[in-house]
Amino acid sequence: MMRPLEGIRVLDLTQAYSGPFCTMNLADHGAEVIKIETPCAGDQTRGWGPMENGFSGYYAYVNRNKKGMTLNLKTEEGKQIFTELLKTADVVCENYKVGVLERLGFPYEKMKEINPRIIYGSISGFGLTGDLAARPAYDIVAQAMSGMMSVTGFQDGPPCKIGPSVGDNYSGAYLCMGILMALYEREKTGVGRRVDVAMMDTLFSVMENFVVEYTIAGKTPHRAGNQDPSIAPFDSFHAKDGDFVMGCGTDKMYADLCGAMGRPELITDPRYVTNVDRCDNYLPDLKSEIEAWTTTKTVDELEEIISGLKIPFGRIQTIPEAAEHPQTKERNMLWTVYQPGMNEEIRIPGTPIKIHGEPDECQKPAPQLGEDNEAILLSLGMTKEQVAALKEKGVL
């Protein structure tokens, strides 16, 4: 069965995480993604751990299902090859600092002249406009400047970065969505689009109620650990033998929890009658009442009781526990692939986008540096001798 994006060709000039995450998602669902790297060095993540036999596991994960090409875009021959590739492509993706592709001679206007159907998608720290546009950024910068770090961590602790690089992968997901929207529109108009995603914008957009707490209520949100500022109880809690999380999003859930605790009087206690009341009096009052009960029971016992009440419940798992969990296996969220370079089978996170009828497996491992140069250039009409000469000149 065909994958949804078969027949779409993507020229992937991205590196690190945000851009490759976008193009990985396109490749997972059938797009032909040609990853174009600088000769000799390649993507910076080729040196990021974990390393096995000199090959990066990080690179292997976010660049699976892609073809690999090297090309020096600073040379005239490299520019000409890229021009020929543009004529055959549907999408170009890059996450250079703003202006790099323009300085190389390929502004969007030039690309449109070469191929009016081209969709040009880019990720940058701060977008294409404004005083900060030219600044480079990594995920931690976006987390800091979007306000995310200011509300992450415990109230008496320092601002804290969220563990994974959410500025990168959220931006990559947004760019992927933007490209799909542009492809859909192109079916009707025949014309491509410019898609511009900024990491700071991305994280600001996913700050949920924190922004409207300021814009509507005039409050400055603060760090509150695992507590939700708008729902209570909604937090992590201690059990006799570990920790867990739960959230009571309705009055009924809260009442059912009080019943299970043997504390029905807490339902009508004036401090806890409504969700707003519970939020206002959560610390230390309500949380103390709940933990006086939860610390008398094991996590297993609490899971049975709380899940039985249809109240959302979760164990706080380690990465190994999450990776080996039966639900992870049931959802096929670890793919096994033989990775050349590592010369062994590895397990990498699969796609969470389960399209029924589409094979849910890795199609090919991440490319070794420039492994598809010859095949791609021969498809453009070059000879093997010409390809060898370009490699000798440092174009490939």
Catalytic residue among 139, 168, 196, 235: 168
The one-letter code for the residue type at 93 is: C
25 closest CA partner among 62, 59, 68, 67: 62
Q: Which of 2, 40, 17, 24 is nearest to 365 (CA)?
A: 24
Return the SS3 of 50: coil
H helix or E strand, kind and range, residue 61: helix 57-62
Measured between alpha carbons, how far apart are the two ends of the chain, in Å?
Answer: 35
Residues 106 and 114: their CA atoms lie apart, in Å, by 10
Query: CA separation (Å) from 176 to 23, 27, 119, 145, 171?
Result: 7, 11, 12, 23, 8
- Tokens at 163, concatenated: 């563990």
Which distant-in-sequence residues (6+ apart) come within 8 Å of 64 by Cβ?
Answer: 24, 27, 28, 335, 337, 348, 362, 363, 364, 365, 366
The Cα 198–Cα 124 span in angstroms is 5
Q: What is the DSSP letter of 58?
A: H
201 flagged as catalytic: no
With the CA atoms of 277, 279, 284 and 285 taken in that order, what torsion angle do they form, in degrees rounded to the nearest 10? Answer: 30
Q: What are the C-alpha distances in Å from 331 to residues 3, 59, 308, 313, 327? A: 19, 23, 23, 19, 6
Q: Per the omega criterion (within 30 degrees of 0), is the bond before 164 cis?
A: no
- Edge-first strand order for the sheet with 313-315 is 234-238, 243-247, 313-315
Angle subtended by helix axes 18-28 and 166-189, to nearest 10: 50
How do beta strands 243-247 and 234-238 pair?
Answer: antiparallel
Residues with a catalytic annotation lie at 168
